[in-house]
C-alpha cells in the first residue's frame, strides 16, 4: 500500500487538469513540479498504484481520462480510480460510515507497519477527493461517550449501508442471502466491474485478487469423497 503524503499527489492531479503535465512523470519531473526530493519516489509509486502511470512513468489512458473529465464528471471518474486501486480495502470498510478503528484494522496486514498511519491518511484523503468519504474526518474521531451516544445513528447508518448493497445485488445473490450465506462483499465487488467493459491488466489483477480473497473467506472447500466412499 502506498504511503505518500496526500497533498502533493492531489496537487499533481489538479495541475494536470488545469495546465497539463509531461507525458512521463519521472521522479525528477515530480520534483520540478514541487514534490520534495525525499517524497518523489513515494509519490511516483502512488501514481503507479492508482494505475495513473505505468512502471516507466508514462501517463495511462485513465489518467488522461481523469484530466479531461468535466467538473461535474471529475469526482465520479476519480471514484473509479480509488475503487479499483483500493478494492480489497473498500470491500471491508466504507470510509463514510466506518470508524477510524475499523479503517485502521483494514490496513493491519500491510507493511511497513511503521507507515500504516500514512497509508490510512492517504486512503482517506483520496476517498474524500473522490466523494467516497466525508469532507472532514473529525466526525469519526469521537470520545467513548460520544461514540456511545451516537451508537443508534451508527446502527441506522450500517442498516442503510446493508440495504444499499442488497438493493444492488442481483437475484442470485439475494437467493444466497436467503439461504444463509452472506455474499454482500462479493456483490459490492461485482459493482466495481468497469461499466464500459474495459480495464487495464493491473486493475483486473487487483479485482481478481480481492474477489478470490473474499471467496476464500466466505466459502468453505469440502473434501471430495473418494471412489470407495
Concatenating the DSSP letter of every residue in 95-156 gives: TTTS-HHHHHHHTTTSS-GGGHHHHHHHHHHHHHHTTSS-S-SGGG---HHHHHHTHHHHHH
Measure the CA dihedral 8/47/210/171, to 10°. Answer: 80
pLDDT at position 228 is 60
pLDDT at position 211 is 76
pLDDT at position 95 is 94
Question: How far is 161 from 167, CA to CA, in rounded Å?
Answer: 10
Q: Give 53's strand partners.
A: 59
Ranges of the chain whose pLDDT falls below 50: 138-151, 165-166, 168-181
Question: How far is 141 from 146, CA to CA, in rounded Å?
Answer: 9
Per-domain residue ranges of the chain:
1-134, 151-220
pLDDT at position 136 is 63
pLDDT at position 46 is 96
Question: How far is 176 from 187, CA to CA, in rounded Å?
Answer: 11
Question: What helix, strand, coil percent values describe the chain, rounded to 5?
Answer: 60, 0, 35
Give the residue from 17, 119, 34 showing the smallest Cα distance to 73: 17
Query: Is-above-0.85 flag for pTM?
Result: no
Amino acid at each position: 500500500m502506498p504511503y505518500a503524503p496526500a497533498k502533493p499527489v492531489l496537487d499533481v492531479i489538479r495541475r494536470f487538469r488545469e495546465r497539463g503535465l509531461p507525458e512521463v512523470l519521472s521522479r525528477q519531473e515530480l520534483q520540478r513540479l514541487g514534490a520534495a526530493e525525499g517524497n518523489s519516489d513515494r509519490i511516483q509509486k502512488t501514481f503507479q498504484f492508482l494505475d495513473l502511470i505505468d512502471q516507466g512513468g508514462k501517463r495511462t489512458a485513465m489518467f488522461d481520462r481523469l484530466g479531461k473529465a468535466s467538473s461535474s464528471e471529475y469526482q465520479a471518474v476519480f471514484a473509479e480510480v480509488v475503487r479499483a486501486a483500493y478494492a480489497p480495502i473498500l470491500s471491508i470498510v466504507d470510509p463514510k460510515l466506518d470508524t477510524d478503528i475499523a479503517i485502521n484494522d483494514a490496513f493491519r496486514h500491510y507493511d511497513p507497519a511503521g507507515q500504516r498511519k500514512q497509508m490510512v491518511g492517504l486512503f482517506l484523503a483520496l476517498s474524500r477527493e473522490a466523494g467516497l468519504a466525508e469532507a472532514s474526518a473529525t466526525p469519526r474521531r469521537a470520545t467513548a461517550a460520544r461514540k456511545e451516544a451516537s451508537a443508534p445513528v451508527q446502527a441506522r447508518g450500517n442498516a442503510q449501508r446493508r440495504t444499499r448493497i442488497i438493493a444492488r445485488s442481483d437475484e442470485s445473490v439475494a437467493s444466497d442471502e436467503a439461504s444463509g450465506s452472506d455474499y454482500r462483499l462479493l456483490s459490492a465487488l461485482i459493482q466495481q466491474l468497469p461499466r464500459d467493459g474495459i480495464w487495464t491488466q493491473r486493475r483486473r489483477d487487483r479485482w481478481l485478487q480481492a474477489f478470490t480473497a473474499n471467496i476464500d473467506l466466505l466459502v468453505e472447500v469440502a473434501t471430495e469423497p473418494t471412489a470407495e466412499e
